[in-house]
Amino acid sequence: MKELVANFSKQLQEALNIAQQSKISLPKKIDTILITGLGGSGIGGTVVAELAIKTSTVPVIISKDYFIPAFINENTLVIVCSYSGNTEETISAMQLAMQKKAQFVCITSGGKIKEIAEQNYFDLIVIPGGFPPRSCIGYSLIQLLHVFETKQIANLHYKKEVEAAIKLLDRKEEENKQKAKVFAEKLHNKIPVIYSLGNTEGLAVRFRQQINENSKMLCWHHVIPEMNHNELVGWAGGNKNLAVCVLRTSFDYERNVKRLEINKEVFSKYTDTVFEIFAEGDSLLVQSLYLIHLTDWVSCYLADLKNIDPTEVKVIDFLKGALAKV
């Protein structure tokens, strides 16, 4: 897993090359976007939907289930994200959307989704297979950005921004690994509580998922300001076994930053471990890629501290095997 994390900037460059060579049809009338995908395959959709929120010309809906919203129709673009191409929930959602005659772009390494896409002449972007899906967010995220631009949904100048991120990550790699070790020490033997501010919740979800899978730990996440209306009260039951980690960007809304400063006063009454991870870069896209990469390293170093294999996910394999028998 460390090798896969270390190769993130190379993956981003390869993903750019794949995007530039892909063949996406010209945009038709689109009034809604549905991105369907789960786990490591689906988190890219969450991140991109937030990145595009200020420039998207149509609503973007994220689906992580077997089903689709009732309003899906021929003017809906359904972007199907499944790394393996065999995710049963995603296949179910795709088939339901086909009944509604929706438009499709499929992003996958193969499997049944690739077969369905080829049989129905759907737009298809094939990414390299054979890796843990959670290690391939660069492949899927860049393709999503490319689809948004090609379909004229939102232009995030992704090529220039991703190239800037690659240079930044390569330049900061050793420094970031040292930072990640320090952050991992803070979270070791604690229950991580991850917060983000405003429209960057996808980054907190990604970090939580990586701690779950790579570090084999339970944790939770929430977002400010929403958590100020519910979870903040729950901190009356906080304790020193909790470690608060806040993901920060330079684009955090000033009122949410003020909220955070007040929140930290509350957190500090119950735990001694409250810290922030600050992004670097000149745009929200670059800062998002920076935080994804840095927190991936944190999850790997947490696995080291626990002396466990970050790649192993036997319990998910057990679940899929049990479901296959039903």
Catalytic residues, which ones?
Answer: 213, 229, 320
- 310: Cβ contacts below 8 Å, ≥ 6 apart: 1, 2, 213, 214, 215, 299, 300, 303
CB atoms closer than 10 angstroms to residue 237: 8
Q: CA-CA distance, 223 to 246, in Å (whole number)?
A: 9
Expressed in angstroms, the distance from the first to the final Cα of the chain is 32
Q: What b/e readout covers 206-234, taking b as 16+ CB neighbours within 10 angstroms?
A: bbbbbbbbbbbbebebbbbeebbeebbee
Q: Are strands 123-126 and 191-197 parallel, antiparallel or unpaired?
A: unpaired
Structure tokens at 103: 């438009």
Q: CA-CA distance, 196 to 230, in Å (whole number)?
A: 15
Widest CA span in the chain: 59
Q: What is the DSSP string of 173-204?
A: HHHHHHHHHHHHHHHTTSEEEEEEESTTHHHH
Q: What is the DSSP string of 29-91?
A: --SEEEEE--HHHHHHHHHHHHHTTTT-SS-EEEE-SS---TT--TTEEEEEEESSS--HHHH
- Cα 287 to its chain centre, rounded Å, is 13
